[in-house]
């Protein structure tokens, strides 16, 4: 690692600062997705010039070990030679046709073969599109209006999913987390705390359960930090949705192909009706998908009357990158190696946090640190979350050439290409931060 230190020990980023300031004049907040602005961290974001393996380089020449990995998309790190080759090769023959290509069949067959609950699959461009389509499909299939989601679970930014619980379980009275969402839309999305058996039982015995089209959830949550499901919580959801005639939708945009080749559903032995995929399935390109039972997927146009479309859906460059990624993931020992690296990072930190006011939670290669709480099972457990301490940690690591996901509510991601020496450097840095807490 070659770090450009200033006298104050922090990395110098004059060019990043300039580009960010110029961007603010023409792009709202200077960024094309809010978390990139580092607004809550009191920092000017770095502007990235390139990435290779587990490293990114900013426009000022500073290197960072990347533990965000494009929010979990890059399970083989940056610019993996075989993924690059697959994409470049396709580009030489044309990058978009707006018409079917053979590679779409190849990757569809591959996913159907790998994930037993997926009998058919439709490719889209973003996780937001996948979950939005899943909502429409569930409503079209069941003829019912309501969706149940869980507080702290993020499913992209379509109107009906930008909703959290407001006054809690008892009233099931959700509030939109964005202006511009109409009261009618809000009324059709219900919220429960995650891992709360009593709240779920109460909901499923209420009259609203009969109006339910679907329950959507992140089976392992990555958007309120990493929160696994309680034993039997997913089983209960499966039983109850089936009993009331609603669909169970797993949003595996993060967990799909990360928690093993069959995702969270394989890990926990649950068969959802629909699955949303994203991130890893595009090998670093904008790809997502909705898959599931044949009778439900066949409700999509042109076979059925639930409309969904996309100019760039199934884009062949992105499909080739995704297909190559799935091929690489099936090589022997890949997931074991990623898990080994994740443990190498997490285990010493877990030990160091035992007698501190904080904890680390990890499932496979998803993990993060929480300050101010000792255990997180649901979003409501984060009332005392110490975001200021997280911002301090982020700053501390950032100045040492370590880039973690820039939010106290987000997972960090380990890739197959993280070097042991880089992980050890990150562990040493985090331990020294914890000692100084
Ligand atoms: C679980 C989950 N679902 C959906 C999305 C939305 O995906 P996208 O950002 O590709 O629209 C995200 C994004 O991070 C996510 O984490």
Distance 270 CA to ligand 1 centre (A): 21
Distance 278 CA to ligand 1 centre (A): 7
Which pLDDT score is estimated for 163? 83
Name the segment(s) of the chain with CATH classification 3.40.640.10.
Answer: 81-329
Name the segment(s) of the chain with CATH classification 3.90.1150.10.
Answer: 14-66+339-435
Backbone angles phi, psi at 115, to 5 degrees: -115, 105
Ligand 1 atom 13: the closest Cα is on which residue? 156
Ligand 1 atom 7: the closest Cα is on which residue? 127
Q: Which of 36, 125, 128, 406 to mutate to test the pocket of ligand 1 (most atoms within 8 A of CB)?
A: 128
User: For residue range 314-357, what is the model confidence (pLDDT) as tens digits?
Assistant: 999 999 999 999 999 999 999 999 999 999 999 999 999 999 99
Backbone angles phi, psi at 157, to 5 degrees: -115, 30
CATH 3.90.1150.10 applies to domain 14-66+339-435? yes
Which pLDDT score is estimated for 171? 42
Per 3-state DSSP, the chain is made up of helix, strand and coil in percentages (nearest 5) of: 40, 20, 40
For domain 81-329, the CATH class is alpha beta
User: For residue range 147-181, what is the model confidence (pLDDT) as tens digits?
Assistant: 999 999 999 999 989 887 443 333 455 677 788 88
Residue 411 CB coordination number (10 Å): 29
* Ligand 1 pocket check for 127: Cβ under 6 Å: yes
Complete edge-to-edge strand list for the sheet that includes strand 120-124: 120-124, 288-292, 274-277, 247-252, 212-217, 146-150, 189-192
Buried b / exposed e across 98-109, counting CB within 10 Å, b at 16+? eeebebbeebbe
- pTM equals 0.96
Q: Of 283, 230, 236, 229, give the one whose Cα is nearest residue 251.
A: 229
Averaged pLDDT, 63-77: 98
Tokens representing 286 are 């904008």
> What positions carry a catalytic annotation?
154, 251, 279
* Ligand 1 pocket check for 254: Cβ under 6 Å: yes
Complete edge-to-edge strand list for the sheet that includes strand 402-403: 48-52, 55-58, 63-66, 402-403
Cis peptide before 302 (omega within 30 of 0): yes
Cβ atoms of 97 and 316 closer than 8 Å: yes
Atom of ligand 1 nearest to the CA of 255: 1
Q: Bridge partners of 123?
A: 289
* Ligand 1 pocket check for 223: Cβ under 6 Å: yes
For residue 4, pLDDT beyond 60: no
User: For residue range 194-218, what is the model confidence (pLDDT) as tens digits?
Assistant: 999 999 999 999 999 999 999 999 9
Tokens representing 6 are 């200033």
């Amino acid at each position: 690692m070659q770090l450009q230190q200033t006298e104050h020990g922090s990395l110098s980023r004059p060019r990043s600062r300039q580009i960010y300031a110029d961007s603010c004049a023409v792009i709202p907040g200077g960024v094309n997705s809010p978390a990139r602005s580092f607004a809550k961290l009191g920092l000017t974001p770095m502007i990235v010039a390139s990435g290779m393996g587990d490293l990114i380089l900013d426009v000022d020449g500073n290197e960072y070990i990347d533990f965000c990995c494009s929010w979990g998309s890059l399970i083989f790190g940056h610019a993996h030679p075989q993924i690059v080759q697959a994409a470049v090769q396709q580009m030489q023959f044309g990058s978009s046709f707006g018409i079917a290509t053979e590679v779409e069949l190849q990757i569809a067959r591959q996913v159907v073969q790998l994930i037993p609950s997926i009998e058919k699959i439709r490719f889209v461009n973003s996780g937001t599109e996948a979950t939005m389509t899943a909502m429409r499909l569930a409503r079209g299939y069941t003829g019912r209006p309501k969706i149940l989601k869980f507080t702290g679970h993020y499913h992209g930014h379509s109107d009906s999913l930008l909703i959290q619980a407001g006054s809690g379980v008892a009233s099931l009275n959700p509030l939109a987390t964005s202006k511009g969402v109409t009261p009618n839309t809000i009324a059709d999305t219900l919220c429960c705390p995650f891992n709360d058996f009593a709240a779920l039982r109460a909901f499923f015995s209420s009259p609203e359960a009969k109006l339910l089209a679907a329950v959507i959830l992140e089976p392992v949550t990555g958007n309120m930090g990493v929160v696994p499901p309680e034993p039997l919580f997913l089983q209960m959801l499966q039983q109850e949705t089936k009993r009331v005639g609603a669909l169970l939708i797993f949003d595996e945009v993060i967990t799909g192909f990360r928690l093993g080749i069959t995702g969270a559903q394989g890990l926990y032995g649950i068969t959802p009706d629909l699955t949303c995929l994203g991130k890893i399935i595009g090998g670093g390109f904008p790809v997502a998908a909705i898959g599931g039972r044949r009778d439900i997927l066949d409700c999509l146009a042109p076979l059925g009357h639930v409309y969904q479309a996309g100019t760039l859906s199934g884009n062949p460059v992105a499909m080739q990158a995704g297909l190559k990624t799935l091929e690489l993931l099936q090589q022997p020992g890949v997931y074991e190696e990623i898990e080994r690296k994740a443990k190498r990072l997490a285990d010493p930190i877990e030990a160091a946090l035992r007698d501190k006011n904080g904890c680390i939670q990890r499932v496979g290669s998803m993990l993060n640190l929480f300050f101010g709480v000792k255990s997180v099972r649901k979003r409501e457990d984060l009332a005392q979350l110490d975001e200021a301490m997280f911002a301090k940690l982020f700053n501390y690591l950032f100045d040492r050439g370590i880039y973690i996901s820039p939010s106290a509510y987000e997972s960090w991601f380990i890739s197959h290409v993280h070097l042991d020496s880089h992980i050890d450097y990150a562990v040493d840095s985090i331990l020294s931060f914890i000692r100084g807490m």
